[in-house]
Structure 1
Amino acid sequence: MPLPLPGRPRLRLAPLLALLLLAGPARPISFQLPGKARKCLREEIHRDTLVTGEYEIGAPPGSSSGPSANLKITDSAGHILYAKEDATKGKFAFTTEDYDMFEACFESKLPVGTGRMPDQLVILDMKHGVEAKNYEEIAKVEKLKPLEVELRRLEDLSESIVNDFAYMKKREEEMRDTNESTNTRVLYFSIFSMCCLIGLATWQPQLDTAGTQPCPPRAISQMTPTDWSYSAGT
């Protein structure tokens, strides 16, 4: 009987460890927003997905005035999903209607009568799908134990991963169909181009032969008096 290899238990635990790593909480994004600048974050999100987020804009260090920036969240068509002027701290939530690219833009504002504004610190914690669900509220409503809540979260995460793979498979099929259609069109165009080249190659010698044939001499009887006078002068 073959002995089990030392690395096999690790291989069996690899999917579980990967799932647990994916189930970990996502960290918020922080960056510096210079004065009179505009920075945007883009992300692709599936349809019918709940998106929640929290943001906080810190005042510039050493500044007497508070933070001054605008926040706008739009889709690829330019539809405004959330907008806030003079944003400092808040939350937002929306549900996507279709698979699309969403953009969250922070635009710094420079107050009138001031010099260069120092950089502002922007913190954005954006979640969607399983991460956006409030499992504490679900546990209170359904009276679930902590272990049951964790199992529910892992179940939702597994379903989300399966849906992602299904979407990737669908996209792969669409791209394959497009590739096959393009190859067919290129083949037909190549055949048409080859036929045109063969036709031109066959027709070109006939044109050259017709162009090099000498013109028949005109009969003397058909010469006009003008032609006779021109011949005598020469």
Structure 2
Amino acid sequence: MRALTLLLAVCCAVTYVAGYTITLKTYQHDCYHEEIKKDSFYTISYEVGGNDLVDFMVTGPDGLSIKNILQQNSANFDFPEHLASGKYTYCFMNPTSSPTDKTINFHAHGVDHDELMPIEEKASPLEKEVIQLAQSIERILDHHDYMIVREEEHRDTAESTNSRVKWWAAVQIFLVGAACAWQIWYLKSFFEVKRVV
């Protein structure tokens, strides 16, 4: 019965994945805040469209920098579990004077284990292993959901590129055909005998 209760508590753990897409203009930065509890799992994954690069920074509730990732087009950041509870801020920055806007897809993955904490305090070693296994499964599911979103975005990009290549090939065929027709007409008119009456 206790094992069934533990399994039910593990299955009822609140899991969420939040996915966002933002656009950064030149020298712009965009920040987000998350209320994170101590000893909870939380990670942020991001990817910049194209080959563009951005800076990523995380600051804690005390305002001190926890992580700086400079000029990367994708990264994952796991919040260490020993961090204190509080409001954490993460920012994306476009420090370059690139004329094009930069599109960033980012996902915040997290699991709240408040329902599991009372069980963990009195759990046997086997039950603790089951809880850790459940947490690992939640992380894998979060990452799987994130990879599905990335695959959809990459497929859309590939289909768009395929469409552009197809239309460019059609335009080239038309231009080559028009050039051939003009050359035939020009050579034919060049060899025509013109009579003066």
Give the TM interval when normalised to the shorter protein.
0.3 to 0.5
| Structure holding more strand per residue | 2
Tell me which of the two structures has the higher relative contact order, counting C-alpha pairs closer than 8 angstroms and 6 or more residues apart: 2
Using structure 1 for the length normalisation, give the TM-score. 0.40
Using structure 2 for the length normalisation, give the TM-score. 0.47
Based on CA coordinates, which of the two structures has the bigger radius of gyration? 1
